[in-house]
Amino acid sequence: MTPPSVLAELRAATQPQHERIERLLALDAPMPLNRYAAIIGGFHTFLHRWEQDVQSALPVRLRPWFGLRRRARFAADDLAWLQAAAPAPPPATAEEAWHPDITLPALFGSMYVVEGSALGGQVITPWLRRELGLAPGAGASYFHGFGERTGAMWREFRELAQAEIGAGTSERYTACAAAQATFGALLHRFEGLSS
C-alpha cells in the first residue's frame, strides 16, 4: 500500500488549526477597514520575522527560490496604503514565538502553511474588491500576492516539498509538527482580534 503524500499528511495534521484560523479571521464576513488593517498588520508582523528566519536557515541552494516567494513586502505595501487612506494607529508589532527548526522537513512543513495561505488569497482578493473596494496596489496586495502565477507556484512548492521532506516517518512527523507550530504562532498572533 502506497503511503499518503506528504502534502496529504500535512493537510490532515493541520486541518483543525486551519479551520480555527479561518473562523477567527472570518475573511468572508463583513468587516470594517480597521479590522482588515489589523489582519494585514498581523500577517506582516509574522512574515517579517518568519521570512528572515527561513531565508537564513535554508541551504544556500534554496535561498534564491525562497527569495522569490516572500510576501511580507506585499503586506507592508497594504499597511502603507491603508494608513494613507484611513489613518489609524499602526497595529501592534510584538515579536512572534515561532522559531524555525533548521531541518529541511521542518522548514518545508512551516512553508506549507504560508504557501497555502497564498493560494487561499486568490479566493479572498475578489471579495476584498467587492466588499471593501480594495485591489492590488490599493490595500489588497498581500492577498493578491503573485496573482495568476500563484497556482503554478503552489504546484512547484508541492513537488519540492515532497522531494525535500522525503518519505521517512521521522521526517514527515517533523514536517507536520512544524506546520502545526506555524499555525499555532499565527493563531496566537490573531487571538486578540476584535470582530
113-172 tens-digit pLDDT = 999 999 888 999 999 999 999 999 999 999 999 999 999 999 999 999 999 998 899 999
Count of C-beta atoms within a 10 Å radius of residue 120: 15
Gap between the Cα atoms of 33 and 186, Å rounded? 20
Q: How far is Cα 90 from Cα 16, in angstroms, rounded to an integer?
A: 31
Q: What is the architecture of the domain spanning 6-17+31-190?
A: Up-down Bundle (1.20)
- What's residue 34's pLDDT? 87
Domain boundary assignment for the chain: 6-17+31-190
Q: 153, 146 in Cβ contact below 8 A? A: yes
- pLDDT higher than threshold 80 for residue 195: no
Count Cα atoms within 13 angstroms, Cβ side, for 75. Answer: 23
Which of 31-35, 83-87, 90-94 shows the lowest per-residue confidence on average (mean pLDDT)? 90-94
Tell me 139's DSSP state.
B
Whether the predicted model's global pTM rises above the 0.85 cut: yes
What span, in angstroms and rounded, lies between the C-alpha atoms of 195 and 191? Answer: 11
Q: Which grid coordinates belong to 116? A: 497555502
Q: Check: CB of residue 10 under 8 Å from CB of residue 116.
A: no
- What mean pLDDT comes out for the span 42-68? 94
How many whole angstroms separate alpha carbon 189 and alpha carbon 45? 9
- CA 72 to chain CA centroid, Å, is 9
CA gap 97, 77 in Å, rounded: 24
- Site of grid cell 464576513: 29
Residue 144 CB neighbour total at 10 angstroms: 24
The pLDDT of residue 46: 93
